[in-house]
């Protein structure tokens, strides 16, 4: 654990790599971060090895016009910026890809047949890459993380997925930060109404359905997921419904 690898050992390991395949959403970014932090904690020398860690990326949102895919987006900020530029969105339909399981068999074949366009190598440049990972996960640096979150720009903060390499520092500052912001937003009740986003979506769905009679929790959770763009697990949603009731 934590041993320093010699140059010869690193050369041998160079012929192998680890590909991280997670969902493209914020929770998937968190899982990537946890895996990177795990390696950083126990085998930091591996992170200095070019091409050792690789991520597999897939679109998180696809925009369709009819049955034809008009454009694919790997990040939500890019999608929102593009949509704001469109004059007419009447005939456009956006499909959110919650996870890898949302993709069809045909889409999976497309991704793997063009693997070079769907993989990015993590890159180590200097000790700053190590320090920023420590900042993101070390319990001692909670105050530094608060300052870090203040740097978040909802328009400009996203990873360029057309690049072949992604520096660890950029992963933390441009992708992992999106999870941290989203986690705060869905975990801290709003000052305006005392509700979290999940709770607010449940209330919205109840008013939309004009719900007055009894209903099964599973039925209501399905209705909420369908009408409020709820992209997380339904078990969590059902627990929230029971708590509100």
Model confidence over 54-108: pLDDT tens digits?
999 999 999 998 888 889 999 988 998 898 888 888 889 999 887 788 888 999 9
Domain ranges for the chain: 7-58+113-187, 61-96, 197-244
Which percentage of the chain shows pLDDT scores above 70? 94
Q: What is the reported pLDDT for 12? A: 47
How far is residue 114 CA from its own chain's centroid?
22
pTM (2 d.p.): 0.81
Token pair in block for residue 1: 């654990």
Work out the burial of residue 185: count CB atoms within 10 Å of its CB; fewer than 13 is exposed, 13-18 middle, 19 or more buried.
Answer: exposed
**Does residue 47 register a pLDDT over 70?**
yes
Q: Identify the pLDDT of residue 123.
A: 94
- Distance separating alpha carbons of residues 78 and 170, to the nearest angstrom: 17
Indicate whether 7 pLDDT > 80.
no
How many whole angstroms separate alpha carbon 40 and alpha carbon 17? 15
Residue 20's Cβ-side half-sphere holds a number of Cα atoms within 13 Å equal to 22
Q: Please say whether the beta carbons of 121 and 48 come within 8 A.
A: no
**Average pLDDT value for the chain:** 89
Cα–Cα distance measured from residue 56 to residue 210, given in angstroms and rounded to the nearest whole number: 43
Distance, in Å, from the CA atom of 74 to the CA atom of 79, rounded to the nearest integer, reads 8
What whole-number distance in Å separates Cα of residue 81 and Cα of residue 73?
A: 11
CB 141 within 8 A of CB 180: no
User: Does position 236 have pLDDT exceeding 90, yes or no?
Assistant: no
What is d(CA 10, CA 17) in angstroms, rounded to the nearest whole number? Answer: 12
Tell me the fold of 7-58+113-187: Rossmann fold (3.40.50)
């Amino acid at each position: 654990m934590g041993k320093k690898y010699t140059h010869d050992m690193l050369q041998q390991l160079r012929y192998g790599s680890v590909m991280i395949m997670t969902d493209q959403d914020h929770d998937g970014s968190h899982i990537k971060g946890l895996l990177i932090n795990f390696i950083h904690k126990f085998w930091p020398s591996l992170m200095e090895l070019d091409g050792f860690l690789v991520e597999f990326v897939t679109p998180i949102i696809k925009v369709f016009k009819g049955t034809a895919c008009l454009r694919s987006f790997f990040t939500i900020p890019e999608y929102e910026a593009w949509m704001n530029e469109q004059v007419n969105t009447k005939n456009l339909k956006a499909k959110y890809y919650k996870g890898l399981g949302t993709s069809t068999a045909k889409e999976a074949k497309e991704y793997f047949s063009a693997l070079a366009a769907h993989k990015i190598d993590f890159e180590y440049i200097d000790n700053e890459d190590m320090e920023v990972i420590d900042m993101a996960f070390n319990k001692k640096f909670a105050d530094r993380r608060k300052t870090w979150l203040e740097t978040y720009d909802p328009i400009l903060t996203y990873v360029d997925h057309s690049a072949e390499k992604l520096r660890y520092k950029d992963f933390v500052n441009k992708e992992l930060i999106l999870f941290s912001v989203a986690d705060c937003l869905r975990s801290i009740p709003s000052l305006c109404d005392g509700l979290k986003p999940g709770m607010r979506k449940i209330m919205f769905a109840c008013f939309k359905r004009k719900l007055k009679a009894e209903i099964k929790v599973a039925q209501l959770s399905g209705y909420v997921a369908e009408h409020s763009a709820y992209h997380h697990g339904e078990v969590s949603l059902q627990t929230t419904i029971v708590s509100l009731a």
